[in-house]
Structure 1
């Protein structure tokens, strides 16, 4: 009950703040925003990394440190911060469902004198309340993968829809006879989950021969996804593949597929590129993942944030890379 109340309160606050910001800035769709630049072109267009005000420091908050992806993102923050002499405080909520806890952390960072904030929200709404607070304090906020705050002035991350599109294209190429496939989604309503799911579903459906027989929430949770996959396999023993919105869920699905004795028939793909996913791919269990290169994303995000502190006017979206990983290229991409 407390969680429901907290979520509802955050949503109401977000709506009121959204109204206040809507006159200034169109709601952000990070996948399609035209005011964008590829991360690899930033230095060519805006020059070498600029001189910063003395004493510059950055604060960052992500979803949770229980997920390797977010730990790796933090490694990117701290690595780039160390390179340019900027201290970074990196905090996270206790779990991917701790929306109020994450909001409390973010609100605290706004008041602690940081020159810029980097935020990776639990949902598209739960950190909206800090946007007005940060603006009043003249602190720029950079929204970093993967939920999208509609009022965010700056976003760093990959094209979420392309994660699903890349997996769908693998099925179209490698399973030309088609068949039944299923999707295990992230948290309902979160931008990344919606876009990844739609990218996969629309691409594979348009190809013909494929039928999406189930698309169910896994809530970014491995056990929930194991249970969901077990039920789907019982209902559709002729299934040829799964797409999961992140790697933790995909690894839960792999266990369900193995338990059903279908590992030679059912392909499983995730998203993120965590080390456990790479290990599972090498072991011949997980078919593949879409690596979002979180360490690099963290480095690019902090560089973007600090360029803003230095007064540079960057595009609204700085796009970071992604790549489909299978056993054929896993060693090359994992370094």
Structure 2
């Protein structure tokens, strides 16, 4: 631009035009920027996708039984939908295999490690190592002595208290013999330990109640049948049975039926809601089952993983708890609290 051509007045005019042009460009750019700004709902979804898509989740249950298969089915369906890769290892109830699987997976560095502990101690050290290496850890239903980023499962002591209170309602205060048997699971599993302890404490509040047996079945129906055979031989006037898990109770319930005492001896069972438990309840072998409904629990596991993936804090920084709700099943009208195994 030649200022000599326009003189001083021309210079002022040219500068003013240039300034207005620059302001116009700035205003226009701002308007365009605002027009192109992402919708807040879209921004939220983008953050979610960035935090979850392409992430890796490793899952090691005790074995791939009916309960664990339902958890796995729900996890896989949801994780596939979110673009999350799920790796599963089935130790088939072998503790040494499970420990090795967890150790190997830690070295593979998944973003989330999900475990079902067979005992309070087996995986405790490895879960701590996982968090120290930056892997967030979720424990399902049976916790270890190591507290991790999240626990998903039943409020186990609460279930024990509810089962015991139901037992007091029918056997306490001088009703019947007051004799009660408890079928534990694995003696060193937190799920069994905590439920048995809570139930025993509640039963102990009534002096008319006598716990005549409290033994581990190791989750096995045959062992449960063996225990119940011995209990009935010594206590034919048994009033009630409390069992910490459905499948292990089937043998004991059959022994009670064979002894001609079905309905007379009350059988109260903590259940994951698998179909066989509802079947046995409807057939009268179980008096009532207290279900925590595994398919809904599976959804809670997924939600815990999604929460941890979106949480910027490092592994070991949180202690989330996702406790699942319990429902009494006392007949076909409550069948919705038992899940349905999908057909292949």
- TM-score, normalised with respect to structure 2: 0.77
Q: Which residue in 1 is equivalent to 2:27?
A: none
Q: Which residue in 2 is equivalent to 1:192?
A: 191
Report the Cα distance in structure 2 between the residues aligned to 1:102 and 1:235, rounded to whole angstroms. Answer: 39
Q: Which residue in 1 is equivalent to 2:165?
A: 169
Report the Cα distance in structure 1 between the residues aligned to 2:220 and 2:164, rounded to whole angstroms. Answer: 22
Q: Which residue in 2 is equivalent to 1:275?
A: 275
Q: Which residue in 2 is equivalent to 1:146?
A: 142
Report the Cα distance in structure 2 between the residues aligned to 1:129 and 1:210, rounded to whole angstroms. Answer: 40
- Pairing 1:1-335 to 2, within 5 Å after superposition: 50-51=48-49, 52-65=51-64, 67-95=65-93, 98-175=94-171, 177-178=175-176, 179-272=178-271, 273-311=273-311, 315-327=319-331, 329-334=333-338
Kindly indicate whether structure 1 or structure 2 has the higher relative contact order, using CA contacts under 8 Å at least 6 residues apart: 1
Q: Which residue in 2 is equivalent to 1:24?
A: none
Report the Cα distance in structure 2 between the residues aligned to 1:104 and 1:212, rounded to whole angstroms. Answer: 39
SS in 2 for 1:93: coil
Task: Give the Å deviation of 1:250.
Answer: 1.2
SS in 2 for 1:251: helix
Larger Rg: 2
> Contact (CA 8 Å) 1:214, 1:232: kept in 2 or not?
yes
- Write out per-residue CA displacement over residues 191-223 of structure 1, whole angstroms, 9 at most, x where no aligned residue: 111111122222122134321111111111111
Runs of 4+ in 1 over 6 A off after TM superposition: none
Which structure 2 segments of 5+ residues have no match?
Answer: 1-43, 340-344
- Write out per-residue CA displacement over residues 276-319 of structure 1, whole angstroms, 9 at most, x where no aligned residue: 11011111211122212222212211221222122256653222
Task: Give the Å deviation of 1:182.
Answer: 0.4
SS in 2 for 1:150: coil
**RMSD between aligned alpha carbons?**
2.2
Which structure 1 segments of 5+ residues have no match?
Answer: 1-46
- TM-score, normalised with respect to structure 1: 0.79
* Cα separation, partners in 2 of 1:258 and 1:291, compared to 1, 3 Å: same
Is the deviation greater in 56-65 or in 68-77?
68-77
Paired residue total? 286
